[in-house]
Homo-oligomer: A and B are copies of this chain.
Amino acid sequence: MTFQVAVIPGDGIGPELYEGSKRVIAKLIEKYNLDINLIEVEAGDTALNKYGEALPKQTLSVIEKADIILKGPVGETAMDVVVKLRQMYDMYANIRPAKSLPNVQSKYSNVDLLIVRENTEDLYKGFEFVPSSGVAIAIKVTTEFASKRIVNVALNYALIRRHKVTCVHKANVMRITDGLFASVCREVLKGKVNFDEMYVDAAAANLVRDPTRFDVIVTSNVYGDILSDEASQIAGSLGLAPSANIGDRKSMFEPVHGAAFDIAGKGIANPTAFLLSVSMMLSRMYDVSKENKYILASKSLEGAIIETYKSGNKLTEDVGGNAKLKDMVDEIYKYI
């Protein structure tokens, strides 16, 4: 099979990240003989201005036929692009690794945890209304089905990692909704891995106190949103964190960082999060195809990024270097 990949370069630094990364992707495709067809589409603030829609019809029709979406950061319209696509294609598992990189100044070292965030329900359903003037209501939804599905994803990751899952919830307050999530965690995980539970407030503190105590964290959508930003900053920088949105039919890969309009067009953006997202995409292609070349390509790219950090002389400003985006990409290219 050939993987059809719809690429959304996005807003702000998004287009230059994709432009800069093309050589790297092309080298991987050639070297590993990957069957990948990249199709660029528009979505985000720029698309909204041009077409009146953040997610234009022509974009959606490409995405509809694609297996995978590779997405750069999107500006103010993120919700209409990101959350919409996640729900539309039931990409239920948001996978967010937080891992220390060599030579990145950080108060923490050896961070290596994975947040598995439920990606389709909770307050993200978008059910909100105004029952009376000055009163706003939102509905938090937790289902047994979606909870089981995500906890199983966490279990599978734990089994290929350090066999530990921390289930994060607030079932002492949200007894019914978070209570359901917690009980599914116990049912699915107990006896299969080293399993513990933690209230979300305690988890936010424990990430600061000792991030190395965590392996896999599984949690619902809102808590996952908050804790994954916190964790990636603890691992070094929010600007370096990749993510995957996995569904049964389609998946989407995106850096966690935003469009960074303030540095857009200057060629100084850090390509790490975008390229690590490409590496996660290649790993997903392996999971789907079971063809070794994809996992080799994924590991090669991840390894090249780590080498670049280890050598440390072609890093962008945000991580203490003075290289440009292009120089850093060239260095990564070299190591592939």
Q: Which residues of B contact A207 (CB under 8 A)?
A: 230
Interface string of A183-227 (1 = CB under 8 A from B): 000000000000000001110111111000000000000110111
Q: Does A141 contact B (CB under 8 A)?
A: yes
Contact indicator A228/B208 (Cβ below 8 Å): no
Q: In the complex, which of the residues B137, B175, B200 contacts A139, with contact meaning CB atoms closer than 8 Å?
A: B137
Q: Bound complex: CA of A124 vs CA of B172, how far in Å? A: 11
Interface string of A129-147 (1 = CB under 8 A from B): 1100011111111111100
Q: Which residues of B contact A288 (CB under 8 A)?
A: none
**Number of residues on chain A facing chain B (CB within 8 A):** 55
Q: Does A59 contact B (CB under 8 A)?
A: no
Nearest chain B CB to A204 CB, angstrom units: 4
Q: In the complex, which of the residues B78, B138, B200, B228 contacts A140, with contact meaning CB atoms closer than 8 Å?
A: B138
Q: A230-B208, A233-B208 are in contact. Are A177 and B136 (CB under 8 A)?
A: yes
Q: How many monomers of this protein are in the complex? A: 2
Contact indicator B201/A226 (Cβ below 8 Å): yes
Quick one: closest B residue to A139, CB to CB?
B137
Q: In the complex, which of the residues B179, B205, B237 contacts A233, with contact meaning CB atoms closer than 8 Å?
A: B205
Quick one: closest B residue to A180, CB to CB?
B136
Interface string of A214-252 (1 = CB under 8 A from B): 000000001101111110111001100000000000000
Q: In the complex, which of the residues B79, B145, B200, B228 contacts A201, with contact meaning CB atoms closer than 8 Å?
A: B228
13 additional A-B pairs beyond A123-B140, A139-B139, A205-B230, beta carbons within 8 Å, are: A78-B172, A128-B176, A129-B176, A134-B143, A134-B145, A135-B142, A136-B142, A136-B143, A200-B226, A206-B233, A208-B230, A208-B233, A209-B237
